Structure 1
Amino acid sequence: MRQTANFRPVGLASMGLGHYAVINSVWDAARTLLHDWPVDDGEDYLEAVKSCLDAIIGDLPPDEVRASFIRAAQEAGIAVIEAAD
């Protein structure tokens, strides 16, 4: 895996009643997709899971995982909260 697996934080709201999560690494994204995601299908969901695996073996930069993770959240109807730069 690349020397850093971190990316700019992504906030998620409504992962469950009153739940909020901040995801800022490939590992957090993978864990969230596989254990906490409300649906386990959808094109963007599957692409996000694949992106995590690709990043873990070093074939994809973390920022690309972040982008696919955000698309999967939008597909699932999860509110994405991004901090201003």
Structure 2
Amino acid sequence: MNWNTSSTFTPVGLAMGGQPARKVVRTLGDAAYILIKDWPSDGGEEYVSAVKACVDAISGQIAPEQFREAFLRAAEEAGIATLIVVHR
């Protein structure tokens, strides 16, 4: 299980309602937490696909970047703005 894999996961910024309104997802563990605890709804086809992809990425069945694509689709479905995170 690779909960804190970050070397191949390009970070994603999220602009969500609530406190704090902005979050940065850097690891699969971050993503799992947000999907389970902070996501605005647990319905929707893309949300379900993202949860499954997260489990698959954590267990090593798919690459973290494949999960990231599913996560971005779920964010779009939920109306969550995504931001590019630039490393300096």
Query: Normalising TM by the smaller chain, what interval?
Result: 0.7 to 0.9
SS at match of 2:11: strand
- 2: CA distance, partners of 1:70 / 1:24: 13
- 2: CA distance, partners of 1:60 / 1:37: 22
TM-score by length of 2: 0.85
Contact 1:55-1:62 at 8 Å conserved across structures: yes
Q: Matches of residues 20-59 of structure 1 in structure 2 within 5 Å? A: 20-59=22-61
Q: Matches of residues 4-83 of structure 1 in structure 2 within 5 Å? A: 5-6=5-6, 7-16=9-18, 19-83=21-85
Q: Which structure 2 residue ranges, 5 or more long, are not aligned?
A: none
SS at match of 1:34: helix
Q: Which structure 1 residue ranges, 5 or more long, are not aligned?
A: none
Q: How much is the aligned-residue C-alpha RMSD, in angstroms?
A: 1.8
SS at match of 2:41: coil
Identical amino acids, percent of aligned pairs: 46
